[in-house]
Amino acid sequence: MPQITPDIDRYLLGDNPFIGVDHLSQERARERLKRIDTNRIVDVIDTAFASGAQGLLFSTHPIMYDALKQIKTRSHSAALPLYPLLPYVQSYVRTATEKGILGLAQELLSKLSWKGKATAMARGGLSIASIDPKGILRSYIDVELDVLSRNAPNGATLKSVFLHEIVTDLATSFQAAELIQTYADHIVDKYNVKPGFATRNFPKFVAFARASGLRLDQIVILTPFNSVGFQMNP
């Protein structure tokens, strides 16, 4: 993997409250989601950046895409550092359940720009149709980042791309080193940023990453650290 050493911003704003996530109350989360107001989200983002936030860490959720569109008119948008967390797992699981694997492939293809579709077809279509795990992962990444590039504010910068903890921790459990290496190589080779990994099991992932040949100084790890051990394992 080539040397990639861009600075990672110290203070990042997360998006959980913006998309209805509440780790302490599912009922409150559902009520919050009903009252989502994109204008208020953008106001909070503006205030956070005015108060010292340096980057936006967010799930590739439709609400966040709407917020990014509005941010295009805001003063800090020209240099907004972005840290997307993908894939947006709930959406893919729901689509696969309702439409099947081929239906999911068609859904992914429909999200691509004309340029993205041409690239996908030149590669023989989306690899999800052939049930190729590494190809599926690359397809997910390319679809999500193609959509992001069309919604992001002008001049926004991609600083890292995080793999969702569901995928990271499953790969760790099954010791799927080749899958993790495929992800890291694709992020570096195509997007020229540090690959990021979200995990709820920091010690095991670090050991797995080292065993898989990943250099810890060339990746970014997103994991909880707190005094009560919330979402920490162990």
Write the CA distances from 82 to 24, 59, 67, 143, integer angstroms: 27, 11, 13, 16
Residues for the chain: how many in total? 234
Rounded mean pLDDT of the chain? Answer: 81
Which of 219 and 35 is assigned the larger pLDDT?
219
Has residue 64 got a pLDDT over 70? yes
Q: How many Cα atoms sit within 13 Å of 158 on the Cβ side?
A: 22
Give strand pairing partners of 222: 198
CB 68 within 8 A of CB 153: yes
Distance from first CA to last CA of the chain, Å, rounded? Answer: 30
Q: Which residues of 41-60 are buried (b: 16+ CB within 10 A; e: fewer)?
A: bbebbbebbeeebbbbbbbb
Could you give the dihedral angle defined by the CA atoms of residues 142, 144, 150 and 152, in that order, rounded to the nearest 10 degrees? -120
Q: 6 by DSSP, 3-state: which?
A: coil
Has residue 115 got a pLDDT over 60? no
Task: Summarize the confidence of residues 112-130 as an average pLDDT.
Answer: 50
Which of 215 and 91 is assigned the larger pLDDT?
215
CB 39 within 8 A of CB 123: no
Which of 202 and 79 is assigned the larger pLDDT?
202
Q: Which residues contact 117 (CB under 8 A, 6 or more apart)?
A: 109
- pTM for this predicted structure: 0.81
Which of 150 and 221 is assigned the larger pLDDT?
221
Cβ atoms within 10 Å, residue 31: 12
Using 50, 70 and 90 to split pLDDT, how confident is the model at 210? very high
Tokens of 27: 């009922």
Task: Summarize the confidence of residues 176-205 as an average pLDDT.
Answer: 95
Which of 123 and 157 is assigned the larger pLDDT?
157
Using 50, 70 and 90 to split pLDDT, how confident is the model at 111? low
